[in-house]
Structure 1
């Protein structure tokens, strides 16, 4: 439920960019700043909250984070002008990384180490389901009832999740030995930074396309705007499959799995740019690109390995990196569009970014051996 609320709140904005652009009388590429604002909320808020709350009981932390999710999405729905909207998007992103990081730690503590990536994948399944069901529904709802309605519904989901967390998540102690200095000590490790760079660059390719998916599909295939929510279900279905398979593969062979996922993403993002010219080829390619979400549980588990002495901050930093990739992808995709490269250009930018992630991952392995 937490993944559904947070994931829908994050990705629904991308599917509703044209509607929000019309509402504030700005261009679609300018509306992309809302995506960037959310991402920077994650990047800045995640590490800050992780350091401050590492010693607190996990359930209380999750409840506090969900309260911020509720407030941020409610403020988004009620924003009277663009600056208020951007501020609300930033606030909405603040709890994102810490929520997934803490939830991942709780899940990982419940299983043997050899099943950790799979357990993390189950936590992230909420985010995948958000893209399978939550985002298509919210995009449709935003088109027929106004984008503000979408964020009001997300606020209700966050409220329900808060109540469920209070009643059903058991007491899980925080790290009683955690201190800000101890947590921040992980930032001295070069292999941690390299792993974060893999997430930032390697996953930015997916966001380069996803940030502008509605206008890209409309212009490349000629489909009506009302068809886009159903197309997004193909992406979401791929994310669900990738999330499950990625976790299992990472448990069995972490390094080969990460190489394979990065190559997969580069290939199918490039394929979208050249072959997504009709609805059926777009459906297939969106599903295959969505499968690249397998990178998330794999890298989450990898980062927990290299950040062993600062689990809260390490688990959270992964999501800060993924949302920095969100901002990077949206920014570079927007640049490609603004200079007139065409609606296939975000996918091309995405393929290049995913390909760059491959040598960056190789560098992270070298650094990890030296740190070890």
Structure 2
């Protein structure tokens, strides 16, 4: 059987990738636009960072519950509904009169993303044969890397030039257009798989699954405890302004895309576990190096190349590993829980950063980032050990 993707498959996967781009940009542009958001609503940096926390924790709860309530619907229908809700949340953010309304709008965006994120990967996997699955997942998740490459730096530039309100109005508009693209490019597909709370509990009771979800939780907590404060770090530690932040975000984006492209090709010959271990070790060593190097902006930008390359090796490898772990019946709930733990980690990491940064500054953030990634490595080792046990012995300890 040929491993080549057809034209219609490539078109559909690109539409899903674009949807991931829009979601990731809207969700994570808070980090690059922290200063502009704080200025627009007279907030502290910690208050603005908590908007990322609110989104992450909302998504973490919404992703699995959305599969319980709506998992029986066609996956494309779930994505289109999520894109509409995400768009409305972005428009509400742009029109928010105060901090309470900002939080409510981020909850709305998190609910919409809970319908989008887990389903995009599952839908992309369903469009292709098993031999093409690693490549298809890589194409869909390329949207996340492209958000880092272009979306988040562009968002930071728009926010600094025209303000955060214009930025989120554009996010809302592009989200609507992306939904239309999916409507016309992606096949409707079969009915979704009904998911029950008992299914979620059953998956979480399996040690190999729970430990796999904790891998992504600690990875994202480690990454976002540093990334969520990238703008204040550059401002306070490296004496850089708006252009320096945009340059750092661009460097992160370019290197991240390279990491994603590397994984897309390496998936044919390297296991997901090996790619995860390599990416996490690179991330630990580079973060430690950033801590020790002179606080010169050009040196930071060079170090961020490795940091972003390593980070974007991790996302597709983790998703691939969960797909390989799960049966067809459990794939939807497993991916929903993966996304839930991912954004739970984002919310937790950014919340820890908002608490640590005023107390311990730059060194506090890098230290906690390394600690979280070490926890992810331990969870991966545990997950692999449990994966090799007989099914009767895989239940998590009661």
Cα offset for 1:82?
0.4
Aligned to 1:94, what secondary structure does the other structure show?
Answer: helix
Q: Which of these residues, 160, 172, 185, is aligned with residue 143 of structure 1? A: 160
Q: Which of these residues, 76, 86, 94, is aligned with residue 69 of structure 1? A: 86
- Tell me, yes or no, if structure 1 residue 297 matches structure 2 residue 310: no
Partner of 2:3: none
Q: Which of these residues, 309, 312, 317, is aligned with residue 332 of structure 2? A: 312
Change (3 A) 1:75 1:286: same
Q: Which of these residues, 315, 318, 321, is aligned with residue 341 of structure 2? A: 321
Distance 1:51 1:276 in 2: 50
Distance 2:62 2:294 in 1: 37
- Tell me, yes or no, if structure 1 residue 260 matches structure 2 residue 260: no
Runs (5+) with no aligned partner, structure 2: 1-17, 392-398
Tell me if structure 2 keeps the 8 A contact 1:37–1:86. Answer: yes
Tell me if structure 2 keeps the 8 A contact 1:96–1:319. Answer: no
Distance 1:8 1:276 in 2: 31
Change (3 A) 1:225 1:60: same
Runs (5+) with no aligned partner, structure 1: none
Change (3 A) 1:16 1:365: same
Cα offset for 1:7?
1.1
Partner of 1:171: 188
Q: Which of these residues, 295, 300, 306, is aligned with residue 277 of structure 1? A: 295
Partner of 2:38: 21
Q: Which of these residues, 361, 364, 372, is aligned with residue 345 of structure 1? A: 364
Tell me if structure 2 keeps the 8 A contact 1:118–1:297. Answer: no
Tell me if structure 2 keeps the 8 A contact 1:207–1:326. Answer: yes
| C-alpha distance after superposition, 1:296-325 (max 9, x if no partner) | 111111112223231111112111111111
Q: Which has the larger displacement, 231-240 or 16-25?
A: 16-25
Partner of 1:331: 351
1:63-212 alignment runs, 5 A limit: 63-175=80-192, 181-182=198-199, 184-212=201-229
RMSD between superposed Cα atoms in Å: 1.9
Distance 1:269 1:34 in 2: 25
| C-alpha distance after superposition, 1:337-364 (max 9, x if no partner) | 121x222432222122112211111011
Tell me if structure 1 keeps the 8 A contact 2:284–2:373. Answer: yes
Partner of 1:288: 306
Cα offset for 1:21?
2.2
- Tell me, yes or no, if structure 1 residue 219 matches structure 2 residue 230: no
Tell me if structure 1 keeps the 8 A contact 2:84–2:112. Answer: no
Cα offset for 1:77?
0.9
Change (3 A) 1:177 1:219: closer
Change (3 A) 1:347 1:118: farther
Distance 1:157 1:8 in 2: 11
- Tell me, yes or no, if structure 1 residue 2 matches structure 2 residue 19: yes
| C-alpha distance after superposition, 1:56-75 (max 9, x if no partner) | 12221111110011011111
Tell me if structure 1 keeps the 8 A contact 2:83–2:113. Answer: no
Distance 1:85 1:91 in 2: 10
Aligned to 2:57, what secondary structure does the other structure show?
Answer: helix
Change (3 A) 1:220 1:75: same
Tell me if structure 2 keeps the 8 A contact 1:76–1:88. Answer: yes
Q: Which has the larger displacement, 151-160 or 272-281?
A: 272-281
Cα offset for 1:188?
2.7
Cα offset for 1:203?
2.6
Distance 1:251 1:329 in 2: 32
| C-alpha distance after superposition, 1:66-107 (max 9, x if no partner) | 001101111111111101101111221223244232121122
Change (3 A) 1:176 1:336: closer
Partner of 2:14: none
